[in-house]
Amino acid sequence: MKFVVRIDPDSIKKNPDAGRTSFFVAGMIHNNPDGSMSREVQQMHQMTPDPNYTCEVLGCDVVCDECGKIFPHEELEERRYGGGWDDEWYDVNVCPYCEEVECCELEYEQFNDVTGEVISNE
């Protein structure tokens, strides 16, 4: 069965870090020759800029195709398989009760990162 994890429309807000591609983290503390101490700051880079909007998703209940258990989608275990001969990696969800792989189909609602509007597939 297929389930849609919906976005809470009231939770969509402008991301204060929109477009950010790097951020700073505190690094090691150094003892300076003059007796003072200073903390190294490291700049970290990320491949994709931070989105313009952030949002929270509304939980939804899913039903396992195999054992028929009904449980909130957050309980699905996410596992990553791959790295074989083709070095392809893919994420699968696993039923927390019967360990069935891809026990239900999950689709996440998307939103337009320019306007902040939810894109509905229906």
User: What residues line the site for Zn ion (CB under 5 A)?
Assistant: 64, 66-67, 95, 97-98, 100, 103
Least distance from Zn ion to the Cβ atom of residue 58, Å: 22
Give 50 or 71: the residue with its C-beta nearer to Zn ion: 71
3-state secondary structure of 94: strand
d(CA 61, CA 71) in angstroms, rounded, equals 5
Least distance from Zn ion to the Cβ atom of residue 68, Å: 7
Tokens 């939810």 belong to residue: 118
Give 55 or 95: the residue with its C-beta nearer to Zn ion: 95
Give 67 or 119: the residue with its C-beta nearer to Zn ion: 67
Non-local CB neighbours of 64 within 8 Å, separated by 6+ positions: 71, 95, 97, 98, 100, 103, 104
Tokens 């392809």 belong to residue: 88
Least distance from Zn ion to the Cβ atom of residue 102, Å: 11
